[in-house]
Amino acid sequence: MEFVYVVPRGKLFPEFTPHGLMPFGSSEEHRRFEDLVRDEGFFCERDYAERTPDLKQIIPYTVFRVDGEVLLMRRLAAGGEGRLHDKLSIGVGGHINPEDLSSTGSSDPIRAGTTREIEEEIEVRGSYELRPVGFLNDDSSPVGAVHVGMVQIADVQGTVQIREKEVLEGRLATPAELRRRVRDGENFETWSSLLVEHTPSLLDAPVDDPIPSQPDPVSAKRTLSQVPHRP
């Protein structure tokens, strides 16, 4: 039985339900959002959360930038989430589980979930800083109605690689290419398609209260698949 971290919809959206990306106007807005998630959230059974729109599952959703380009990924059939198979994505993310907090000793669910998801899917050779940019909501589908994304940019000094090439493939792409592919109707995840049009402003925004991160020193021993550079 899997448990996931949720926040009651009424606590997140007490006045109205937003659609799309809601950028943080300041570091103070970001801190208020994370404080609300930490103070009002709790773990519940995933099967229940998936059919309860009154609860929003919190998903850290991280976009990797390297020299002005974005990591574009395709989830393969061997991946665990069937609803995402063969879809294009610019976000690394997933549910926050109790083990994320217990294994790190952290009281910050977003930070703990982000760390695990990145370590599972991405290898950074160098360093990166996480920059929170906003939250993402889309109630237009049953899946979107029970999730909300915490959007972050990972500004990389170095290179990015993908682990486990049987699950995920990817390469770097310019914002212009991403926008063209979305407009051509390619098979993007809904959240990624909503974010792509914002990539020029998100990538050029100044770093506001960045969180420095370093790759796990043990992770270099794991099996990796090199991400090819955009041709």
Q: Does the structure show a pLDDT above 90 at 41?
A: yes
pLDDT tens for 56-94 read 999 999 999 999 999 999 988 665 555 656 899 999 999
Q: How confident is the model at residue 167 (pLDDT cuts 50, 70, 90)?
A: confident
pTM: 0.84
Query: Domain 3-226: which topology?
Result: Nucleoside Triphosphate Pyrophosphohydrolase (3.90.79)
Distance, in Å, from the CA atom of 228 to the CA atom of 129, rounded to the nearest integer, reads: 22
Q: Residues 177, 178, 183, 188: what is their CA dihedral angle, to the nearest 10 degrees?
A: 140
Residue 33: what residue type?
F
Residues present in the chain in total: 231
Distance, in Å, from the CA atom of 73 to the CA atom of 84, rounded to the nearest integer, reads: 11
Q: Where are the domains of the chain?
A: 3-226
Q: Does the structure show a pLDDT above 80 at 213?
A: no
Distance, in Å, from the CA atom of 187 to the CA atom of 44, rounded to the nearest integer, reads: 31
> Which 8-state DSSP code applies to residue 53?
T
pLDDT tens for 100-139 read 998 777 889 999 999 999 999 999 999 999 999 999 999 9
